[in-house]
């Protein structure tokens, strides 16, 4: 007699297949569903995934499993693929909100993975905040590492030279100085949400070990025009040799519910290894409507920007299609807008990693036409100039 599949397993399989088989347009291929929220009874969303490459065809994807009633707090879990994203394992906990630390119970947000080339471990970072908080705007940095390719995780305490609230969305960026690595970690804070005397600032932390972090510097506001809420920046190689560039999400500084006018990403440049940064300036060719975008530079030299078009969330049609632009020549014009993924459903928070020159793997969170963040998507993407 053949074994019968249980109803929950059949339901999860059906949800995964239906979401993966959804017709779409765009240049991403091999789209798969890593995980659906209905496979996590009691959760309210799956959100903000991140991706890292272990070895060979093994990939690790981390994502958040949200607690109902919280704005952006829950557990951080990781799934493993050993066949380049075709299938994914059941997830394991990286950070579990049910595990108390003494009398304190934390919840977590914003999964980040990082594999340093010179280390045989994978790092996970996230934000933690006490469970009595309503949202994660006043969080601390928390870390864990895996020595078995994401199948198990060991939490560790960071040694922090910066001790204020922080929010992390993009992962560390490595620079080499005198043959040794130095890591830059883009951060921002939004203490103004609940404190009229708080601030909305973007800054960068630095480390040589990935365990101890100090403040490198803050990103100066634009020299002209109103202040801007700069946040969720991605660091990549800049337009000139030895230059670093960070492209940031934006919103109105005084009222974070509003977009900038016009809705644009802003950028900043460092010419000294991330120690100082130029005043932020508008990127006229890069749209941003209050949503995380991916900015990076391929080994081929092409810069890539993947973003949400349309209005800002929580508009009914906010954060729908994912589009992208390419900048084939450093410092040159950006190409025309192209479609990354569009299925008539909500999509947001793309993260890409390059596994070979011009060959990327991507994750993002997706929903339905009427609901956000019901599942985590994976896909493959190749640059075509």
Write the pLDDT tens digit of every residue in 107-161. 999 999 999 999 999 999 999 999 888 888 889 999 999 999 999 999 999 999 9
Residue 11's pLDDT is: 45
Q: Residue 12 domain-assigned?
A: no
| % of the chain surpassing 70 pLDDT | 95
User: What is the rounded CA–CA span in Å between residue 219 and residue 270?
Assistant: 10
Contact 46/36 with Cβ under 8 angstroms?
yes
Considering only CA atoms, give the Rg of the chain: 20
Q: What is the mean pLDDT of the chain?
A: 93
Q: Residue 358 domain-assigned?
A: yes
Q: Residue 13 domain-assigned?
A: no
Residue 296's pLDDT is: 98
Q: What is the pLDDT of residues 368-377, one digit of tens each?
A: 999 999 999 9
Domain that holds residue 313: 25-382
What mean pLDDT is predicted for residues 350-367? 98
Position 360 confidence tier, pLDDT thresholds 50, 70, 90 = very high
Residue 12's pLDDT is: 43
Residue 17's pLDDT is: 46
Residue 384's pLDDT is: 78
Residue 18's pLDDT is: 55
pLDDT exceeds 90 at position 2: no
Residue 10's pLDDT is: 44
Q: What is the pLDDT of residues 14-60, one digit of tens each?
A: 444 456 678 999 999 999 999 999 999 999 999 999 999 999 999 99
Contact 97/107 with Cβ under 8 angstroms?
yes
The pTM (predicted TM-score) of the whole model is 0.93
Q: Domain of 53: which CATH number? A: 2.120.10.10
pLDDT exceeds 90 at position 4: no
Residue 6's pLDDT is: 42
User: What is the rounded CA–CA span in Å between residue 214 and residue 204?
Assistant: 9
pLDDT exceeds 70 at position 3: no
My answer on whether omega of the bond before 262 falls inside 30° of 0, hence cis, is yes
pLDDT exceeds 60 at position 271: yes
Q: Residue 1 domain-assigned?
A: no
What mean pLDDT is predicted for residues 192-204? 92
Q: What is the pLDDT of residues 296-316, one digit of tens each?
A: 999 999 999 999 999 999 898
Q: Residue 18 domain-assigned?
A: no
Residue 5's pLDDT is: 41
Please tell me the total count of domains within the chain: 1
pLDDT exceeds 90 at position 179: yes
Residue 280's pLDDT is: 98
pLDDT exceeds 50 at position 325: yes
What mean pLDDT is predicted for residues 189-204? 93
Nearest to 260 by CA among 297, 223, 288, 220: 288
Phi/psi at 237 (nearest 5 deg)?
A: -60, 140
Q: What is the pLDDT of residues 58-93, one digit of tens each?
A: 999 999 999 999 989 999 999 999 999 999 999 999
Residue 138's pLDDT is: 85
| % of the chain surpassing 90 pLDDT | 87
User: What is the rounded CA–CA span in Å between residue 317 and residue 241?
Assistant: 40
Q: Residue 8 domain-assigned?
A: no
User: What is the rounded CA–CA span in Å between residue 91 and residue 33?
Assistant: 13
Q: Residue 5 domain-assigned?
A: no
Contact 205/213 with Cβ under 8 angstroms?
yes
Residue 7's pLDDT is: 40
Q: Residue 16 domain-assigned?
A: no
């Amino acid at each position: 007699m053949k074994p019968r599949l249980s109803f929950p397993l059949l339901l999860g399989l059906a949800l995964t297949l239906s979401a993966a088989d959804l017709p779409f347009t765009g240049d991403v291929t091999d789209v798969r569903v890593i995980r659906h929220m209905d496979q996590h009874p009691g959760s309210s969303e799956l959100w903000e995934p991140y991706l890292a490459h272990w070895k060979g065809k093994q990939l690790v994807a981390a994502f958040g499993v949200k607690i109902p009633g919280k704005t952006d707090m829950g557990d951080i879990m990781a799934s493993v693929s050993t066949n380049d994203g075709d299938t994914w394992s059941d997830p394991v906990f990286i950070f579990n909100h049910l595990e108390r630390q003494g009398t304190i119970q934390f919840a977590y947000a914003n999964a980040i993975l990082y594999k340093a080339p010179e280390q045989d471990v994978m790092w996970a970072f996230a934000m933690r905040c006490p469970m009595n908080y309503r949202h994660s705007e006043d969080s601390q940095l928390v870390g864990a590492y895996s020595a078995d390719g994401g199948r198990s995780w060991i939490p560790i305490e960071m040694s922090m030279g910066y001790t204020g609230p922080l929010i992390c969305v993009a992962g560390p960026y490595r620079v080499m100085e005198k043959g040794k690595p130095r890591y830059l970690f883009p951060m921002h804070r939004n203490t103004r949400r609940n404190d009229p005397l708080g601030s909305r600032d973007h800054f960068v932390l630095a480390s040589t070990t990935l365990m101890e972090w100090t403040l490198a510097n803050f990103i100066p506001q634009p020299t002209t025009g109103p202040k801007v809420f700069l946040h969720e920046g991605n660091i990549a190689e800049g337009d000139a040799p030895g230059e670093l560039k960070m492209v940031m999400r934006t919103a109105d500084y005084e009222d974070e519910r509003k977009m900038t006018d016009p809705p644009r990403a802003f950028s900043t440049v460092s010419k000294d290894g991330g120690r100082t940064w130029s005043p932020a300036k508008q990127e006229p060719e890069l749209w941003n409507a209050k949503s995380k975008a991916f900015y990076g530079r391929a080994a081929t030299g092409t810069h890539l920007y993947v973003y949400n078009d349309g209005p800002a969330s929580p508009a009914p049609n906010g954060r729908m299609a994912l589009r992208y632009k390419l900048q084939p020549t450093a410092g040159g014009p950006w190409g025309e807008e192209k479609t990354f993924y569009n299925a008539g459903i909500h999509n947001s928070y793309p993260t890409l990693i390059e596994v070979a020159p011009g060959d990327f793997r991507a994750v993002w969170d997706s929903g339905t036409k009427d609901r956000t963040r019901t599942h985590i998507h994976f896909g493959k993407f190749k640059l075509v100039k």
